[in-house]
Structure 1
């Protein structure tokens, strides 16, 4: 279904999902290095994804849809952890140890379910 859209719209969807993910995670983790490194890393990984998809026979439209869905799932899955990110950052800035802060199990499960569910939805929308 989504692969029938013009390729320009899929590039726009990929750019919008990357920008949204970068802005939200940048506000949750307000470190300058992270705000610069995260979008660059995601674009490089997206380029690698497109390259791997081309080598395995998946067309560009399918790769762009899956890339966008991965960013949407990642952002949704990290929603419950935004307070934890800020707490870790505040402790780190004060020089306190952050090793004892653990991610709750329910946050980990929610993250995994969100990423997998959105990727499965994206896969279904590419057929």
Structure 2
């Protein structure tokens, strides 16, 4: 995004990022309760981020989180189906490479947001 992007354009970009992220998470975690609560949590946290920082940071980090969770989507789906069947685990092991990829994507997206708004 060019730094000269008008501030009014960040609102539709942030709305699109929210819809994309919530849709992806709803597809990856097919639990009814999650589908109802998660968008409200994302919008609530987004409002706090917008109040403290900026709209670009919210939009970019949501997209970074969505991309960062791509390698883990099959595990999320499998674990949510297990939870629906009543199976509980002691631990849900995340592969370290998936966790590192997610962190790198979110931090990279946050840095891109800062660079795009300066």
User: Does TM-score exceed 0.5, indicating one fold?
Assistant: yes
Cα deviation for residue 49 of structure 1 reads 1.5
Note the residue ranges of structure 1 that are not aligned, 5 or more in a row.
Answer: 54-62
Q: For the residues of structure 1 that align with 2:52 and 2:92, how far apart are their CA atoms?
A: 37
Relative to structure 1, is the Cα distance of residues 2 and 46 closer, same or farther in structure 2, using a 3 angstrom cutoff? farther
Name the structure 2 match of 1:96. Answer: 87
Aligned length: 118
Aligned-residue CA RMSD (Å) = 1.5
Name the structure 2 match of 1:20. Answer: 20
Relative to structure 1, is the Cα distance of residues 81 and 68 closer, same or farther in structure 2, using a 3 angstrom cutoff? same
Cα deviation for residue 48 of structure 1 reads 1.2
Name the structure 2 match of 1:10. Answer: 10
Contact preservation (8 Å) 2:67, 2:105: yes
Contact preservation (8 Å) 2:21, 2:66: yes
- Higher-Rg structure is 1
Cα deviation for residue 27 of structure 1 reads 0.4
Residues 1-127 of structure 1 aligned to structure 2 (within 5 Å): 2-53=2-53, 63-127=54-118
Q: Which runs of 4+ in 1 moved over 3 A?
A: none
Contact preservation (8 Å) 1:21, 1:72: yes
Q: For the residues of structure 2 that align with 1:45 and 1:96, how far apart are their CA atoms?
A: 30
Q: How high is the TM-score relative to the length of structure 2?
A: 0.90
- SS of 1:97's equivalent in the other structure is coil
